[in-house]
Structure formats: structure tokens, C-alpha cells
Structure 1
Amino acid sequence: MSDMTWQSAGLTNRGLKRLDNQDNYFISADERFFVVADGVGGETGGALASRLTVETVETMYVATPPDLGNIEDMRAWMVKAVGEANLSVKQAADASTDKKGMGTTIVMAVLGDNGVLHVAHAGDSRVTLVRAKEAKVLTTDHSVVMEMHLRGQLTLEQCAVNPYRNLITRCLGHEDDVEVDYGQHNLENGDWFVLCSDGLSEVVKPPEIASIIGESDGCADACEKLLAAVLEGGAPDNVTIITVSLSAIASPVVSGAEKTSS
């Protein structure tokens, strides 16, 4: 990917209402693999679930990295990585009575060759693309309210204030198998993308994310500014943010975004 330059940064914060932080995140040493996991399931259970998830996919990326130029290999690798993390969490939950019911969301992004972004997720942690001062959410929340929206029962505005908006329909650790959504997206010069837990997306909406990105001096500054907006909004949950900015990309060679499930 010699025709691309990029930078990244990440942070996690307990927020203002939670007693502990059950989020975890990972940025690989080559800054091409990014992960956010938002744990659920009681005091220490959620934190353990998200930590095990991040550790599992990190180990897999280091030991058996994907072929960054092969789209089919990327898809298979990401689905397998989520599956391995799911088993790690479930085995830990099954082995400890006080961890029963723990789980975690996951969202992963890999910067592939030729300016292609590969995304896989389960749960309501998100990837948002910011391009030309506009934000587009690349993932679909696996939540009760999003399912109602897709059935035409709720508008997105109603989803945002619905009392059941935090109920997720997919997570790691509850079943032997987990369904994973995968997508690929072409990147352009000047693009940013943001991975986050719902601690950000519940408080700072996509247009404001785009506005903050546009006013930021690099990725670390963008993370801090986004966190400041969450804190100003009350920060009712843990918040985790990874920002990535790109420049100098030649013409992308893969056309169209694709989304599949496995």
C-alpha cells in the first residue's frame, strides 16, 4: 500500500456515570488493524469479555495475518477471527458461575491493499466514514430498535430516544456460533474513519462527528475532541474511539461496497 499514507489514534474512557470501564480496543503495530469491543454482563464480566476478544484477535493477526490484497481471504479471516473470539468468551463464561451471561460487541476494520477498507462486526459498535465533511455509518447496529427501524416500525430519530435502544441482538459469548456482518469499502484521499463503542454514537451523532473531524489537527486531537463532546453530553456510558485519517491514495481498484453474513 505504498500509494497511501495514514495515521491513527485511539482512547477509552470510563465516562461520567459508570463505575468501571468494560470497553477495550486495539491498534496493530502496523496501524492496519483496528478493533473496538464493548463488554456487557455485569461488573467484571463485560470487561473480561471485551479484553479476551481483543487479545484473541490481536494474537491471530500477529500469528496468522490475512492476505491484505485478497478480498476473499480478508473476509474469511475476519469472520474466523470473530468466531475464535466468540469461543474464547463463551468458554470463559461457561467456566465461571459469576461470569455467566457476559458478552461483548466487536467491530474490526482492516486497511487492505489498493485503498480498500474491510469491516466486520457483531453488536452495536460502529465504523463511520467521514468524507468531504459528511459522515456515513458503514455498519448496521444489531439492536432491537434497528430491527424495528428496518421493518418500518421506527424512524432513526425514534430509535435514538427509544428506551430499548441499548438492547443488542448479537454479541460474542452467548452462543457457540455468532453471525458476523462483513463489508468492503473503497477509500479516497482525505477520508477519515472512526471506530467506536455506543458511548460515542449514543451522544455524538454522525453530522457532529464529521464537524469535529473537520476541526481537528490529526487523529489524537480528533479523539480528544470527540471525547470532550461526549463528556459535555453527560457521558452516560464507557466510550472508546479510534480515528484513522488517510491521504495520497491512487485510484481504487475495487468497485462497490459489499455486505455479506456468515
Structure 2
Amino acid sequence: MEIQFQSDIGRRRHTNQDYANVFTNQADMYLAILADGMGGHLAGDVASKMAVDGLGAAWSTSTISQPEEASQWFLQEIQKVNEAIYQEGITHPEMQGMGTTIVSAALLNETFVLAHVGDSRAYLIQNDQLKQLTDDHSLVNELLKSGEITAEMAATHPQKNILTRSVGVSGQVKIDVSHHHCQANDYLLLCSDGLTNMVSEADILSVVTSDQTLESKTKQLISAANEAGGADNITVLLIHFEGAACP
């Protein structure tokens, strides 16, 4: 298994509020995490880094190797991160209301467990096909699912960035957790909306399935988003399941 990730400020933002990292636990299992922060001043930066570092620290001391364990772990630890970010905002009024998306994958033998809140996405690229594994927690996606708007309208909707769920709220946050199987030569892509709002799924698939190194594919996806306008921070975390068993 190979993992590459890169984050870029884009062409229109003054700060990068995205954050990503990869961690290993005591059972040598990997956790990949990507977060897209929101909030004024530097609050979005703080929220995304708190989410990634908080989950990463908890994973590093765990011995989780089974999907059921990982699912329960995600539910517990993301709640803890949610509370920590909320309390940080209360303690520092200039950061009040900050929050972040999270999309994270625990990579366990021949399966992986996904957890996500918000509109950062996970895609599986398998047999030269791209499948979105996450469901955006956004107002526009709710309108799309209810049939009130079309996919074409959703792409340019003025309220595209309004989330229905984020991490850093008072009380409990609802977390989507799912199990998936992987095959040799599959790719798992975690990304912020700075990629998906700028680059079509067809173009993402073309880059991921191209004959380049994983690092080059990651950089090309970032470049494509910037070439299309770079309206937001762009973060790409790409995992290649290489062997007969994955990871």
C-alpha cells in the first residue's frame, strides 16, 4: 500500500484551512484523515488541525485491527474531538463558532472503515470506475435528494457551501460510518471540496487511472483544481492498494 497527500491554498484564499495526515496504531494499522475547517480569523485552521491531530493521537495509542472496533472508535473519538473544538471556541471568543469537516479511513487488512461529517468526500476507484462512498452533509445535497433542484443547478447553487453537519457543534454530532472491501490495484481518494468543486469526476478518474506515480497523480489533481480557478483550499489524499490483500 502507498499513500500520498498534498494540500494547497488555492488561488483565491489567504489562508489554508484544510489539514490532512496519516497515522499508524499499535497494530500497524493506518488511519488517513482529512479535515476542511471553517470560521473567521484563524479559527478554521485551528479546528481542522485539532480534528486531525486529536484523532491521530488517539489512533496512535490504540490496538484496533477489526472493522467493528474501528466503527465504535470513530463514533467515540469524533464526539470527543467535536466537544474539544466546541469548548475551544467557548474559551476563545474570537474562535467561537469554528468547525470542520472530517473524512477519515481506517485501513484494516482487506477492508477499510470510513467515517465522515460534512462535505469532504471519499471515492473508491475500482476497475477503472469511480464511486463516491460518502454523502455530502450540505443544504444543496438535501435539495438535490428531495428533487427540488437538479444536479446542474446544484453545481452552481449560491448556497453550495452551507453544511447541515460539521464537527465543533454543541451536543452530539451525527457521524456516518461505513465498511468497504478493497481489491488489489484499487485507489481510495479522500479530498476537500476545493477539488470536487473545480474538477469533474471524469477528470479525477482519468488522473487516478493514468500511468504516473502516486505522487504525480496527487500533484496533478491539485494543479487541475488550480487551473480551473482554485476557488478554495485543495487537499488530496490518495491511497493505492497494491497487493493481493489490502492494505
After TM superposition, the score normalised by the length of structure 2 is 0.94
Specify the alignment match of 2:188 in structure 1: 193
From 19, 33, 47, the equivalent of 1:49 is 47
Determine helix, strand or coil for the equivalent of 1:179.
coil
Q: Where does residue 255 of structure 1 map in the other structure? A: none
Take 2:195 and 2:29, find their aligned partners in 1: how far apart are those partners? 22
In 2: Cα distance, 1:16 partner to 1:85 partner: 30
Amino acid at match of 2:73: W
CA shift digits 1:105-149 (9 cap, x unpaired): 000011112x11210000000101111222111000000011111
Unaligned runs of 5+ in 1: 1-5, 252-262
Q: Aligned residue for 2:118?
A: 123
Counterparts of 2:29 and 2:130 in 1: how far apart (Å)? 22
Measure how far apart 1:248 and its partner are: 2.5
CA offsets per residue over residues 13-50 of structure 1, 9 Å max, x none? 10000000111111124572100000001120100000
Indicate the residue corresponding to 2:19 in structure 1.
Answer: 24
CA distance in 2, matches of 1:111, 1:76: 15
**Cα distance in 2, alignment partners of residues 171 and 211 from structure 1:** 31
Select the residue among 107, 114, 117 that pairs with 1:111. Answer: 107
> Which of 92, 97, 107 pairs up with 2:93?
97
Using the TM superposition, give the Cα deviation of residue 178 of structure 1 relative to its aligned residue in structure 2, in angstroms.
0.5
RMSD after superposition: 1.5
What is the percent sequence identity of the aligned residues? 30
In structure 2, the residue matched to 1:83 is 79
Match of 2:221 in 1: 226
Match of 2:35 in 1: 37
2:232 to 232, 237, 243: 237
The AA in structure 2 aligned to 1:191 is D
The CA deviation at 1:171 is 0.5
1:216 Cα deviation after fit: 4.5
Q: Confirm or deny: 8 A CA contact 2:35 2:101 kept in the other structure.
A: yes
Q: Is the 8 A contact 2:22 2:33 kept in 1?
A: yes
- Mapped to 2, the partners of 1:72 and 1:159 lie a distance apart of 35
Q: How far apart in 1 are the matches of 2:211 and 2:52?
A: 28
Q: CA separation in 2, counterparts of 1:238 and 1:31?
A: 29
SS in 2 for 1:28: strand
Q: What displacement does 1:240 show? A: 0.7
**Contact 1:130/1:210 (CA < 8 Å) preserved in 2?**
yes
Helix, strand or coil: the match of 2:185? coil
**In the aligned structure 2, how far is the partner of 1:161 from the partner of 1:224?**
26
**Unmatched runs of 5 consecutive residues or more in structure 2:** none
The TM-score, its normalising length taken from structure 1, stands at 0.89
Which amino acid counterpart does residue 217 of structure 1 have in structure 2?
A: Q
